Amino acid sequence: MLADTVSTLFTPELFLLLTTLLLIGYENRRDLSLRPLATRIGVVVAAWVVAFGVYQGGAAVVGTGVPGGDARLVGTAVPGGDDFFAALGLIVAFSTIALVWRRQDWGPLVAPYAALLVVTSLLHLVVVPLWNASSHVIYAAVPAGVLVAADRRFAPLLAVPPLLVWSRVATGAHTVDEAVGGLVVAGVVLGGAFALDRLPTGR
């Protein structure tokens, strides 16, 4: 089914990895030397491994069962279930990326992008237990918006969030309100960043 394929292709971890690598390439577009790029990509890959470890092992580490997760885990439920540990993993990953970029002075774009995704994940932790807004849509709309703010040539990425709204509803993963709610959450993050002049730009 097409809707299932769209949801699979644009899962948060894959789309965030894609947009992060695109922004790294754009930030270093004037000097695409292999070694500096490899170092930066290595940091991102290491952060992703840690995030995946938090996501997969979080419930076992804290000794809790996760609603909707591994049925073998039992104990006290964590609000938000799998989404809690996914967001926690992303907080760790993007905090690491932002810190390394700032300490190494690697450029003006990736660090604020990563910081904005930390804020997104913190908001996600608060919102999802109360309202199951689509994480697929949230984590597509925020990075797409950031990249377009950096350079309008990334505008085709803006097609992904509404496509995911459709696919999440079509697959029955979310109601219309929950899927559109992902756009609302992303809009709050991007609007706040714009108001505070925290959106990275390529100027």
Q: pTM for the whole thing?
A: 0.89
Comparing CA positions, the residue from 56, 83, 104, 73 lying closest to residue 174 is 83
80 in a structural domain: yes
Tell me if 203 is assigned to some domain: no
Q: How far apart are CA 183 and CA 161, in angstroms?
A: 8
Residue 82 confidence (pLDDT) = 74
Which pLDDT value is given to residue 167?
Answer: 98
Q: Let me know if residue 200 belongs to a domain.
A: no
User: Residue 176 and residue 193: Cα distance in Å, rounded?
Assistant: 26
Domains held by the chain: number: 1
Q: Give the mean pLDDT of 59-75.
A: 47
Q: Give the residue numbers spanning the domain of 10.
A: 2-195
User: pLDDT, tens digit, for every residue of 79-125?
Assistant: 556 788 889 999 999 999 999 999 999 999 999 999 999 999 999 99
Q: Are 83 and 55 contacting, i.e. CB atoms less than 8 angstroms apart?
A: no
In a domain, 202, yes or no: no
